[in-house]
Structure 1
Amino acid sequence: LLRASEQLKGLRTKNDDQKTGVEIVRKALSAPARQIAINAGEDGSVIVGKVLENKSYAYGFDSQTGEYVDLVKKGIIDPTKVVRTAIQNAASVAALLITTEAMVAELPKKGGSGPAMPPGGGMGGMDF
C-alpha cells in the first residue's frame, strides 16, 4: 500500500475536490505502515520516509526485528486479495459517509447530571 501511495503523486485531477480526494487516499494508504512502525515503538513518519527513499518494491521495515530488509525474501507479504478487499471496503464506507446527510457516531448517554455535592462544613459554627 505504501508503494501504491507514491503512484498517486502525479495523478491529474479535474478539480480541487478530486485533488483533495486523491490526497486523502494517499495518506490513508500510508497509514498501515505508519501504524505498524508505531506499534513496534518506532517513529512512523521516519520509517515510512526511509522505506520510500529506497526504490525497491521488496524493501521495507521488519517491525519484529526493527530492521530494514527485503520483505519478499523474509516472507513478509500481504495477500493481494486481502489488500484489495480492504481498500474496496474502505472506499465503500467513505462513499456512504460522504453521501449521507447526517450520521450518529455515538448516542448520548442517559443519566443524571452527576453525583450531588457533598455537604459543607463539618466543624462547629460552619453551618448555614
Structure 2
Amino acid sequence: MELRQLRHFVAVAEELHFTRAAAKVHVVQSTLSASISGLEAELGTALLVRNNRRVDLTTAGQALLPDAQHALAAAERARAAVDAVRGLLSGQLRIGDPGAGNRRPARAAGAVSPQLPANRDHAATRSH
C-alpha cells in the first residue's frame, strides 16, 4: 500500500467523482483508476462502487477512509518535522503593493525566492 494510492483513494472518496478527483490530485483519470484498482487488488476487496455517473464507497471503503486520511496527515507531519530539522521554511508568503498599478508583485517575490528552498510559483493577484 503506497501513500500515492491512499491519496488517490481519498480524493475519489471525497469527490465521489473520478474526473474531479483526478484533477484534484493532478493525474489523468486512467492513472487514478489504475492506482485505486491496484489498491483494491492488494486489499482483496472493492473500495468503490462505480456507476455510469456516480461513485459510492463500499463498506470496506467507508472503513478505510478515516485511516487513509490519518495516514496521509501523519505522512505530511513527518515530512514537516524532517523539513524543520533541515531548516527549510514552509508556508505561504503573500506580497502585495497597493500602489503597484500594473506592475506585478512577482518582481518583489523574485528577490526573495532564491532564499526559499521549496519555493513554488503562485499566481499573483491584486485587488482594485
TM-score exceeds 0.5: no
> Between Structure 1 and Structure 2, whose CA radius of gyration is higher?
1
Q: TM-score, normalised by structure 1?
A: 0.27
- Please identify which structure carries the higher helix content: 2
Q: Which has the higher contact order (CA 8 A, sep 6+)?
A: 2
Q: TM-score, normalised by structure 2?
A: 0.27
